[in-house]
């Protein structure tokens, strides 16, 4: 049976919260880095529903919106950008064959909680997978409507 003091539980919770906060920022920056490396202008919006008066916090915490102009990006670029957060899992993936430190080997529950929170942020969201499968449709819709951005991750 696992016994942890209240201070230990608070430490674990704070480690998890910090990892999810940092991982969310890294997740969105991974999308933006790929888009900007491909020459696609984009905008990151943090808590996009906050200004709408909507009190529902189940919406997105952040979005990356690529700008579409006459020379719209290739759907392949959008697909790669949508899957870019998978790179965040590399430190933990390197631990599997013993090429990096294993956060689960040292017994620190706070480190394990942080690793799980970070790994959760490395997973592409359902919106990310939507961009992977339907990037061409999103580009066509944004171009046809005269819109200047494609809603993505």
Is position 131 within any domain?
A: yes
Instruction: Give 8-14 contacts, CB < 8 A, sequence gap 24+.
Output: 8/109, 8/110, 11/110, 12/109, 12/110, 12/113, 13/113, 14/110
Q: Note the pLDDT of residue 61.
A: 83
Is position 10 within any domain?
A: no
Q: Note the pLDDT of residue 62.
A: 87
Is position 5 within any domain?
A: no
Phi, psi values for residue 42, rounded to 5°: -150, 165
Please list, residue by residue across 15-51, b when 16 or more beta carbons sit within 10 angstroms of its beta carbon and e when fewer do: bbeebbeebbebbbbbbbbbbeebebebeeeeebbee
Q: Note the pLDDT of residue 84.
A: 97
DSSP 3-state of 65: strand
Q: Note the pLDDT of residue 105.
A: 84
Is position 58 within any domain?
A: yes
Low-confidence ranges of the chain (pLDDT < 50): 1, 152-153
Q: What is the tally of structural domains in the chain?
A: 1
Q: Note the pLDDT of residue 57.
A: 64
Is position 152 within any domain?
A: no
Q: Note the pLDDT of residue 150.
A: 61
Q: Note the pLDDT of residue 70.
A: 60
CA Rg value for the chain: 18
Domain that holds residue 61: 16-144
Is position 151 within any domain?
A: no
């Amino acid at each position: 049976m696992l016994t942890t003091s209240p201070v230990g539980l608070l430490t674990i919770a704070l480690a998890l919260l910090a990892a999810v906060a940092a991982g969310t920022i890294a997740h969105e920056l991974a999308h933006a880095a790929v888009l900007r490396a491909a020459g696609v202008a984009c905008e990151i919006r943090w808590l996009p529903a906050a200004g709408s008066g909507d009190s529902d916090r189940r919406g997105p915490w952040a979005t990356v919106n690529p700008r579409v102009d006459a020379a719209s990006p290739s759907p392949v670029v959008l697909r790669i950008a949508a899957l870019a957060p998978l790179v965040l899992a590399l430190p933990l993936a390197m631990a599997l064959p013993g090429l990096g430190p294993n956060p689960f080997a040292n017994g620190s529950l706070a480190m394990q909680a942080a690793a799980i929170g970070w790994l959760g942020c490395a997973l592409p969201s359902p919106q990310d997978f939507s961009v992977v499968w339907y990037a061409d449709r999103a580009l066509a819709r944004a171009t046809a409507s005269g819109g200047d951005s494609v809603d993505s991750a």
